[in-house]
Amino acid sequence: MCRRINTNKIAYVSLVMLLALGLKASIPKKEFMANDHFIFEINHRDKYATAIELTEAGKEQEVLVVPPSIRGFPVRYIGKPKRFFQPLDINALKLTDKQIKIYLPYSLRGQMWLASVRTVEAILALANLDDFDKVLTINSFPEIKLHYLNGKNKLNTFYMYNFESSLNEGYYFMDYINGSNPYVIPSDPVRKGYTFAGWYYQKECATLWNNEVPKSESESLTLFAKWI
């Protein structure tokens, strides 16, 4: 006696299995990495990192520098985007009462979510207004005093790569220094096939920088990398 096969049922089960496999494949594989001051969530499918939390050491720092990459993954986001029914800071990277200043890298894309219990200066390495949505996002947090190149609170200290086809329209590092706020001197830039030989006042690298920085917000400083 032959048993009749329900082809519709088989087709339905097969479709469900295919959808389940497709859904599983579409979920980004994630893991977590950390440097000294930040914990990052890594998205392997799209190959980027999100800074989501401070480490215990990071919570104690007055000045924080978000790196442009972590183990080869570019840092694209700060905090996680909120859903429409969530409070604004629910998934933000939360700063502590220790932080005074945080530097944000040129590698960021899209929105950033920062929250702090005190007023903090945020330095955004923004070279053009095409990235203006980043500015709007950070300005959603009233405790974040944002400085960026084309904004109302303009930056006044610039470190330039000083070679053709460099990243971020030639800007390596940016800062706002007024003589009383904290600042950092950036780590040495890297150029393939060349050795960094110091910061100079001119593109032609005639006069070596003497490590002096602006003493007020009305002063400005632009430095150029020398390569040999």
Banded model confidence at residue 111, pLDDT cuts 50, 70, 90: confident
Residue with tokens 């032959």: 2
Residue with tokens 């494949």: 25
Residue-wise pLDDT for 74-105, tens only, equals: 999 998 766 666 666 678 899 999 999 999 98
Is residue 14 within a helix (H) or strand (E), and if so which, with residue range? helix 7-26
CATH class, 158-228 region: mainly beta
Residue with tokens 């329209």: 169
Q: What is the C-alpha to C-alpha distance for residues 36 and 57, in angstroms, rounded to an integer?
A: 7
Q: What is the C-alpha to C-alpha distance for residues 112 and 7, in angstroms, rounded to an integer?
A: 51
For residues 75 and 108, is the Cβ–Cβ distance under 8 A? yes
For residues 43 and 30, is the Cβ–Cβ distance under 8 A? yes
Every domain of the chain and the residues it spans: 28-154, 158-228
Q: What is the C-alpha to C-alpha distance for residues 172 and 213, in angstroms, rounded to an integer?
A: 17
55 vs 38, 133, 164, 191, CA distance in Å? 5, 27, 37, 30
Average pLDDT score over residue span 209-223: 96
Token pair recorded at residue 190: 């890297």
- Percent of the chain topping pLDDT 90: 60
Residue-wise pLDDT for 153-194, tens only, equals: 789 999 999 999 998 889 999 999 999 999 999 999 999 999
The mean pLDDT of the chain is 86
SS3 sequence of 85-139: CCCCCCCCEECCCCCCEEEECCCCCCCECEECCCCEEEEECCCCHHHHHHHHHHC
Amino acid at 27: I
Q: What is the C-alpha to C-alpha distance for residues 189 and 227, in angstroms, rounded to an integer?
A: 10
Amino acid at 44: H
